[in-house]
Amino acid sequence: MLCEFQRVIYPPVPSPGSYMVALYHPCEQVKDLAGNILTQIKAVGYCLPTAENLRFNMQGRWKTNSKFGVQFEVESYDEVLVPTKEGVIGYLASGQIKGIGQKTAEKIYDLFGVKALDILDSEPEKLLQIKGITEKKLQKIRESYLMNRGARDIIAFLAPHGITPRQALKFYEEYAEHTMDTVKNHPYRLCELSGVGFLTADKIAASMGFDQLSTERVDEGLLYTLTEAEGCGHLCMEKHAFLKAALKLLDTPDLTAQMAANRAARLVESGQLTTYDQYVYRTKTVHAESHLARRIQQFLKAKITGCTNLETELNGAEKSLNLRFAPEQWQAVKMALTQGLSVITGGPRTGKTMIQRAILDIYHRQNPNATICCCAPTGRAARRMEQATGHPASTIHKALNLVADEDGNFNDPELLDADLVLVDEVSMLDIYLAGYLLDAISLGAQVVLIGDSDQLPSVGPGAVLSEIIASGKVPVARLDKVFRQQAGSRIAVNAKAIRQGVRNLEFGEDFQFVDSSDIETSADKVVELYLQEVKKFGLDNVALLTPYRKKTATGANALNLRLRDIINPPASGKPEATHGKRVFRLGDRVMQMKNLGEVNNGDVGYITDIFCDTEGITIRVNFGDGREVEYDTDQLSMLDLGYASTVHKSQGSEYQSVIVNLQKTHYIMLTRPLAYTAITRGKSRVIMVGEKRALYMAISRTDTEKRGTCLAKRIKNS
């Protein structure tokens, strides 16, 4: 059916991959199901064409909707392109290809003639010869062209299943003209895409009548069971628990445990799964864990120079710092300066900062020409480290020049030219970041890992700090004594009590509890307190923490919406951008939700610009430290409002004032590490709102699930 676009009926502003209803004018005689000749066609489908200067040959079928009448359901379409100057320029400038307007289209034709589309198909990099087309613009042109040519059908086919155009494009780039056949014959290969899991692929497969007992489905279900466990922090699963979870996921009555075990054995034979002791791993995670264990052993065996005359040096450090080291602090400094790899662990107010200063001062004095690197997992932690020690510090990612792509995958790290490396907030290191870090440091350098092993483990898989300590092979200094002379000392005292399972906490100006058993009342109260504390300490020095993102009125999502509309209300002339159900506003405080470039998961910044054009929405965010990032429409899912956050997201940060909500309805999340991590974010004041019984439940819960990892055992046996 040959036709021309007239107008969009729904939605008012279509986004890539959206379901659409549009009107078209037939360019040939078209009849409906009743044989009536039509002068206008109402078409429905995904990614319908909207260019006004082109004709389209649509394929599909007529259907009658009880509410909307006769409609043409579009399954695919082709642009009808005349291979003339006018035809080529008309297509390029039609608005179908983002980044190409009339002038650019004319330049492309002038350079490549009627072969312009062949260039776009096979040699798009040649467009860089045209003035005004940059690498970034070329990428946008290329993606848009693919979307409107070969990839269009696969985008439309996958869109109803929640797969974004960008994800579909990546799949198309991998399989090219075989993409549709691959999806229809091997739907579980969609799991190769970042953000597309087994459940989505399984739904697509089921819609096409795929055999539930097929080896492809069972294999992918087994692999996804481990992938899902990794999302919960586990590197591996016990064999029986693994099979039980896989059978539950696959939910197929005719699939027996023995059949699943046989397929798992085949995956082990093919190298996709690996076993160690009684545990099962994906190949990627077992390599990461075993490699890190070997690297740790290499550091333990490496020869180092070390520092000397430490008794004299420590006496001098006490004088210069105007303090007296406790015996365990004294030993921590000596250990760090004489070992190739060591760990210092302790809670707040136990002297970790003074120990770092002493280590740096003594090492620099004895090795004035040596290179020292101080780093931490987050920008906030790195800044705090620099302020406390007086020595330059950076994020681990910046030190290693680790840059993440849009799927969160990092490039290979650069070698770290350093003789002494101090790493703070090590409890936040997952198995991958820890591996990147130790791989980048040369053997013979001294590495000091500093952190609090009682905090929540990393967001990513593994329990690196606690496993290193548990191995018994790495020298460890434990700091237990709390020094109360600072403001906010009840925070440190109570943190130690919580760590030891003691419910008898001290309350006062710097550690308060506000009783509230009703969720809605608690939400009102934490908002009131947050605004009060912001007025006193400033927006960047106050945190509002909750166990959940969603769930209730005290979830981070709901609180963020309330706080944003108070702190940064809408106003005439203030730009806004809508992405799905979310609205971003100029001036919003936002949080990064996954690694991207130099910005890390959990980083907080402010929206400094919003602009919309024919190519979509662009939001500019300033994260500080010279990091300013632009997000296009497809990247906005990486951002969320950043006024309130989960306790997990607050790791590595410290604030003057912290407000924490704990309710009995949070039961699943109420654990000792969560309560401990939440209150240790506070520097001067902690205000807890909720039910004391919820707090006591958290303090008492030591039956939390241990993360699936064998790192400690591997370190022992390496």
Comparing 307-453+463-479 with 491-703, is the CATH topology the same?
yes
Alpha-carbon Rg for the chain, nearest whole angstrom, is: 29
Count of other CB atoms within 10 angstroms of residue 673: 21
Write down the pLDDT at residue 487.
Answer: 47
How far is the C-alpha of 186 from the C-alpha of 204, rounded, in Å? 10
How far is the C-alpha of 64 from the C-alpha of 69, rounded, in Å? 5
How far is the C-alpha of 386 from the C-alpha of 375, rounded, in Å? 9
The residues of the chain scoring below 50 in pLDDT are 487
Write down the pLDDT at residue 149.
Answer: 66
- Helix (H) or strand (E) holding 447, with range, is strand 446-451
Amino acid at 479: L
Architecture of domain 491-703: 3-Layer(aba) Sandwich (3.40)
Read off the pLDDT of residues 510-536 as tens digits, 9 standing for 90 and up: 999 999 999 999 999 999 999 999 999
Which tokens sit at 464?
């690196």
Give CATH superfamily name and number for 307-453+463-479. Answer: P-loop containing nucleotide triphosphate hydrolases (3.40.50.300)
Write down the pLDDT at residue 381.
Answer: 86
Please answer whether residues 40 and 4 qualify as being in contact, where contact means their C-beta atoms are separated by less than 8 angstroms.
no
DSSP string of 196-221, one letter each residue: --HHHHHHHHHHTT--TT-HHHHHHH
Read off the pLDDT of residues 456-494 as tens digits, 9 standing for 90 and up: 888 889 999 999 999 999 999 999 887 755 545 789 889
- Give residue limits of the domains in the chain: 2-64, 307-453+463-479, 491-703
